[in-house]
Amino acid sequence: QKQRVALARALIHKPRLLLLDEPLGALDALTRIEMQQLIEKLWHQHGFTVLLVTHDVSEAVAIADRVILIEEGQVGLDLLVDLPRPRAR
């Protein structure tokens, strides 16, 4: 519930860029899927850019249309995720 409230607070001001640092890390599996779907739905509705920091590769691929892997302060991988939406979770 705290993550949903925090997301709602962030969206009140209609940002063009939303920064999310491990927003789903402490959630159980079902709530994580629900939040992934909510983030994607809001992204479609409002058209903002999301910068998502995560250590979970499957989460990044499920949500993102581009994944950038940082290794030792350098870009190790910059990959477009060309999969249909909504994505299976």
- 88 pLDDT higher than 90: no
Task: Name the β-bridge partners of 20.
Answer: 52
Q: Cα separations (Å) of 68 from 4, 15, 78, 80, 81? A: 25, 22, 4, 9, 10
The string of pLDDT tens digits covering residues 30-69 is 988 888 888 888 888 888 898 999 988 888 888 888 999 9
- Give, to the nearest 10 degrees, the angle between helix 29-46 and helix 2-11: 10
Query: Is the CATH code 1.10.287.1260 the one for domain 2-80?
Result: no
Is the pLDDT confidence value at 14 over 70? yes
